[in-house]
Structures are given as C-alpha cells and as structure tokens.
Structure 1
Amino acid sequence: MLDLVQLRSFVTVQQMGSFTFAAERLGLGQSTVSQHISKLEAAIGRRLLARDTHKVVLTPDGEALLGHARTLLSIEGQVQALFTAQRLRGTLRLGVSEDLVASRLPLVLEDFVRSHPSVDLELTVALSGLLYEMQDNGELDLVLAKRRLGDSRGRLVYREPLVWLARDPEHVLSLAALPLIAFPPPSVTRSIALEALERHRMPWRIVCTCGSLSGLTAAARAGMGVLVQPQSMSPSGLKEIGSLPQLEDVEFVLIPSKGADRALVSALSDDILNKVKGLR
C-alpha cells in the first residue's frame, strides 16, 4: 500500500523542483523528505526522480505516478473535509495580480482547493489597478495585489524590491532612449519605473506594452528592451541592471471586500499569509 505522507513529499518535490524548497513547504527536514522519496521508490521498485543541471525532475516512471498521486491526495482532502465539524462551503472570488500567478502562489491555491472541496474558487488575474476597480464594483471578494509605499489599503503580506532587467544590459544602456517593456496603465511597476526615469531626466520610450507577463518576458528575452519586475520574480535569461536609477519597493497586500463571506476570506487569507513567503 502506498503511503500518503510519502506521496505528498513526492508531489511537493515535483512542484518545487528542489528537496530544499519542498522541505520548507512541508515544514520538514530535507533528510526526512529524502527518506520519504527513497521509501516510496523502494515500495514501487522504480526510480521516480532525477536531477538535471538546475533542479529535480521526474523520470518517466515518476511522470506515470504523478497523476495518480495527486488523485489520492485529493481524495484524502475530500474525506477529511467531509468529517470536519465546520466545513467551508460557498463561492470565493479571488483577484490576483499578474506577477503573483507566475510565481508559486498556485501551489497555495491548489492546497486550499484540495482542503476545501465544497468551496468554489473563482480566480481573476489582472493588473493591480484593475483588480481594485473590480473590487470597488463588488466583483471580487478578496484581492492579492501590489500597492505603492505609503498606501494604507490592505493587509501586508510582504515587501519586495523592484529591479531593472534586460537580456543585454550593455546594449540597452548604449541607446539614446531607454527602451521599456511594460504593462499598460494602470500598472504600479510601470508608474514607478517612469517616475524614476523622469526624476533623473533619463530619456525613455515604450517599445512593448502587454497585459500578460509571459508576453513581456518574451519581449525582454528577445532583447527588445528593459523590463521591471519584483526581484524574486525575475525571469530566467535576464540580467539585473544596477546602474539605472533605484526603484521604489512595492508591497503585496491582501484586501478583503465588505460583505464577503468572512469564514471563506479568513481561511484563504490565512493560507496565503502563512505560506506565500516560503514560496518566494
């Protein structure tokens, strides 16, 4: 019989791409997670994980097991929820800024959905400014988004420095006007970047505008210009530019809506506050 604890470690290692990050995620020692994987491999009689140059990856046998492991863990969550005294039910409309969806936040949401199968989680991904507008219009129950320093709205999750990024910093710095790759207004990072350049009277031009972070990242990797992102969310293949004006930090905050189901909002807010820092 397969051990659910070992399966959870296996799935988490796959999600995080690292034994170290998986151990932090699970609140266990790295050696304990390694033992779980070794015992699972021994029970199945197959090698499930392998290391490439950057991270831990699944073997073909690991790929074959992954879907079944997720199903078993999902069933476990449903059974636990079935016999929980205060079972959460209802619909929760969550708005999340584009940056965070590209990070490891989906892992937190996956855990929440698994633990609360009677909750329908509706996710909206957009720029922070648009999420605030939707919330004001009563379209969202909870928002996880960016705010500027000095803005008092919301409950602080964490503060993050912004950085300038480019594929070839020397090339973009040699141009007469700094080529910028940015979200459209109302974008917090766009406003901060433009204000920093204006303060230092540096010429600039927008070479790419896109509402999708994947689109902006593709443009930056193609060498089109400079992208501004939270430091922990810097896409691979891009280098930080330290010689440009220093950027103001941003803060990620949780903002509940008045009239939203308090139990649902509190449950998800607590999950995010407790877990999201460890996933950065």
Structure 2
Amino acid sequence: MLDPRLLRAFIAIADAGSFTQAAERLNMTQSTISQQLARLEDAVGQILVDRDARPILPTAAGERLLGYGRRILALQHEAETALGDPAGTTPVRIGVPEDIVNTTMAEVFGDFARRHRAARLDVTTGLSRDLTRRYRASEFDIVVVKEATAEPDCRASFPEPMAWFERADPARSDWADPIPLVAFPPGGLYREAMFERIEREQRRWYIAFSGSSLRNVLVGVEAGLGLSLLPRSVTIGHRVRPYVPLGAEPSMVVSLYAWEKTGPVAELAERMTAVLAARQS
C-alpha cells in the first residue's frame, strides 16, 4: 500500500520542479522531502524523477504514478471529509403502523432531519404486535402501535374508533352464512378481533381474501370480497361503508412509546404525539 505522505512529497516535487520549493510548500526540510521520495522509489522499485534535470522532471515511471497518486490523495481527502461530517451518523429507529405514516407525519420527520443533521431516521412499518415486541427488545427508539389498552409506560394514547365495513355500492341487504371476511395476515390485531366478534354472534365465517397491507385489505373490501373490521379513520375516501347489522365495535387505542425522556428523540416523540392527537379532530 502506498503511503499518502510519500505520494504527497513526490507530487510536490514533480509540480514544483525543485526539491527546495517542494519542501517549502510542505513545510519540511529539503533532506526530509528527499528521504520521502527515496522511500517511495524503494517501495515501487522505480526511479520516479530525473534529479539531473533543471527543472526536475518525472521519469516515465513517475509520470505514470502521478495520475494514480493524485487520485489516491483526492480519495483520501474525500474519505476524511465524509468521516468528519456527522450527517446521518446517529440512527433514530421508529416503528409505526402503515396508516400512521401520512403526509403530516412525514413532514415532521423531514423537519426533524433538517434540524438534526446527525440523525438518520430509520422508519419501519408493520403489524402492531410485532412492533411492540421489537420495541420491548430495544430495537426501536420510538414506536406507535394499535392495541386494546395502553400499557402504563406509554407516552400518549388516543382512541381509535372501529367499525365493520363493506363495499359501498352496490349495497347488499345481508351477507350469506358463512360470512366472507377480508383479513390481515395472522398476528394482525384486527384479524383476531374480527374472529372473536363473529363467533360471539354465533355466525360461521371464512377468509375470502387476505391482504398483506392496509391498502390491500381496503381494495378487497371495495371489490366486494367480504366484510372487514377497520379503523374508521383509514376508510375516508374509499368506496366502503359501515356494515350496520353488526352494530358498534369497541374502540382500540393508538399508543406512542419512547425510551428517552429528554433530548432530540424525546422532542421528535412529542411532535409525533401532536400529529396523532390531530387525527382525533
């Protein structure tokens, strides 16, 4: 591996055409810069400058090395500059359900990133139970989850009104028995709540469509594939309507948890809390 200090001495000599001027540019003695050039020549096994020429000129081997040497020094400078810049060096890990990452929440993330250049926001969307498990394992700094009841250490909690939904048009008078359901994957909070409610009603059911995301589930309901239990807030603007025969459904809660109580992460948690509060208005 070529020593950048030796390359810098060689390039200075080639550019100045003089050992004396090169030494002055690098703030070293002439004997020191001569020694560094000799060490580089030993390392590459080639004579790199014509010492008898006036001004001193690079040899054929020296000319070949000059281009590589300049690139090596440029890359070294680039690496040192990049490593000296703290931008994006401190990860802030956030877990949220898919429907929570709306435009307003994204703007909060963007503003935080602009004001805290060292922060790198790592946002993961997923099912609430998995997000909760990973938060308890310290994989997230902040997490927003949907749950039946909030835990005592939650930073904030808001009601999430729920309802059964079906395709808006054409309307159906009733659904045949067994009832087709549009569901999230196994482990989804709404999925198990759906099954429990239908079984309390002593109705038979089957999974007609399973979607891996909220969007997929909504598309399934819009297509008339079956009924689904969903937060009222996520259905706005979609071609679905509440399924009245099943009546009211208990609200769930949207809870925010954060490990840090002070500092930038706590500040971000507060701003995320404000966005969640605004969803209730």
Q: TM-score range by the shorter chain?
A: 0.5 to 0.7
Question: Measured at CA, do residues 119 and 200 of structure 1 come closer, stay the same or move farther in structure 2, by a change above 3 Å?
Answer: same
1:98 match: 98
SS at match of 1:176: coil
Structure-2 separation of matches of 1:234 and 1:103: 16
Cα displacement (A) at 1:98: 2.1
2:257 match: 255
Cα displacement (A) at 1:115: 3.3
Q: Paired residues, what number? A: 192
Q: Is the 8 Å Cα contact of residues 144 and 255 (structure 1) preserved in structure 2?
A: yes
Kindly provide the CA deviation profile for residues 217-240 of structure 1, in whole angstroms up to 9, marking residues without a partner as x.
Answer: 221222111122211111511111
Question: Measured at CA, do residues 103 and 153 of structure 1 come closer, stay the same or move farther in structure 2, by a change above 3 Å?
Answer: farther
Cα displacement (A) at 1:279: 4.6
Q: Is the 8 Å Cα contact of residues 160 and 231 (structure 2) preserved in structure 1?
A: yes
1:154 match: 154
1:205 match: 206
Cα displacement (A) at 1:199: 1.4
Structure-2 separation of matches of 1:175 and 1:103: 39
Structure-2 separation of matches of 1:138 and 1:116: 22
Moved more, 247-256 or 97-106: 97-106
Cα displacement (A) at 1:245: 4.2
Q: Is the 8 Å Cα contact of residues 180 and 207 (structure 2) preserved in structure 1?
A: yes
SS at match of 2:172: helix
Kindly provide the CA deviation profile for residues 239-270 of structure 1, in whole angstroms up to 9, marking residues without a partner as x.
Answer: 1112214322111111124xx68523311111
Letter in 2 for 1:171: R
Kindly provide the CA deviation profile for residues 149-181 of structure 1, in whole angstroms up to 9, marking residues without a partner as x.
Answer: 365452333112101111158438331122111
2:194 match: 193
Q: What CA RMSD, in Å, does the superposition of the two structures yield over aligned residues? A: 2.7
Structure 1 runs of 4+ with >6 Å offset:
none
Q: Is the 8 Å Cα contact of residues 142 and 255 (structure 1) preserved in structure 2?
A: yes
Question: Measured at CA, do residues 104 and 195 of structure 1 come closer, stay the same or move farther in structure 2, by a change above 3 Å?
Answer: farther
**Mapping 1:1-280, distance limit 5 Å:** 90-101=90-101, 104-149=104-149, 151-152=151-152, 154-168=154-168, 170-171=171-172, 173-235=174-236, 236-257=238-259, 262-279=262-279
1:3 match: none
Structure-2 separation of matches of 1:103 and 1:242: 31
Structure-1 separation of matches of 2:226 and 2:122: 35
Structure-2 separation of matches of 1:219 and 1:102: 21
Q: Is the 8 Å Cα contact of residues 163 and 240 (structure 1) preserved in structure 2?
A: yes
SS at match of 2:263: helix
SS at match of 1:171: coil
Compare CA radii of gyration and give the structure with the larger one.
2
SS at match of 1:146: strand
Structure-2 separation of matches of 1:271 and 1:112: 9
Cα displacement (A) at 1:132: 1.3
Cα displacement (A) at 1:211: 2.3
Instruction: In structure 1, list runs of 5 or more residues that go unmatched.
Output: 1-87
Instruction: In structure 2, list runs of 5 or more residues that go unmatched.
Output: 1-87
Q: Is the 8 Å Cα contact of residues 177 and 203 (structure 2) preserved in structure 1?
A: no
Structure-1 separation of matches of 2:229 and 2:139: 29
Structure-1 separation of matches of 2:150 and 2:274: 24
Q: Normalized against structure 2, the TM-score is what?
A: 0.61
Question: Measured at CA, do residues 172 and 96 of structure 1 come closer, stay the same or move farther in structure 2, by a change above 3 Å?
Answer: farther
Q: Is the 8 Å Cα contact of residues 159 and 251 (structure 2) preserved in structure 1?
A: yes
Structure-1 separation of matches of 2:121 and 2:107: 14
Structure-2 separation of matches of 1:103 and 1:227: 25
Question: Measured at CA, do residues 250 and 103 of structure 1 come closer, stay the same or move farther in structure 2, by a change above 3 Å?
Answer: farther
Q: Is the 8 Å Cα contact of residues 197 and 245 (structure 1) preserved in structure 2?
A: no
SS at match of 1:249: strand
SS at match of 1:276: helix
